[in-house]
């Protein structure tokens, strides 16, 4: 008989309150009956504290250069999701503040 199949690769950025285990459970419910083959390294979202000497130093440096610092919550988009929990120390991801510029020549 005729048999059809498809393969799909999905990259997911999880919110802070949603674990990789919860994601896989939800995925299995969504695609009940389909084979799910996890790949890669599932990583929890990570948020570091804002009130640390490191963050204050970045804020002061941005202001000293005439910039207006701000905070953007971005999950799953920085190595901090891996190294922050592993290293257990203050960490920041620094960028232009406009997510539309991420990974572009104007970043």
Residue with more model confidence, 55 or 99: 55
| pLDDT one-digit tens code per residue, 7-21 | 888 888 888 888 989
Count of CB atoms within 10 A of residue 84's CB? 19
Domain boundary assignment for the chain: 53-101
* Mean pLDDT for the chain overall: 85
Contacts 24+ apart (CB under 8 A), 98-102: 99/72, 99/74, 102/77
pTM, rounded to two decimals: 0.64
Count of CB atoms within 10 A of residue 6's CB? 5
Residue 102: pLDDT above 80? no
């Amino acid at each position: 008989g005729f048999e059809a199949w498809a393969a799909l690769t999905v990259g997911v950025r999880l919110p802070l309150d949603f674990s990789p285990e919860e994601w896989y459970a939800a995925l299995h419910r969504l695609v009940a009956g389909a084979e799910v083959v996890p790949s890669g390294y599932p990583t929890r979202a990570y948020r570091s504290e804002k009130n640390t000497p490191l963050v204050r130093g970045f804020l002061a440096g941005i202001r000293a250069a005439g910039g207006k610092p701000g905070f953007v919550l971005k999950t799953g988009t920085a190595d901090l999701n891996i190294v922050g929990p592993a290293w257990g120390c203050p960490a920041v991801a620094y960028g232009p503040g406009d997510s539309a510029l991420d990974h572009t020549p104007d970043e």
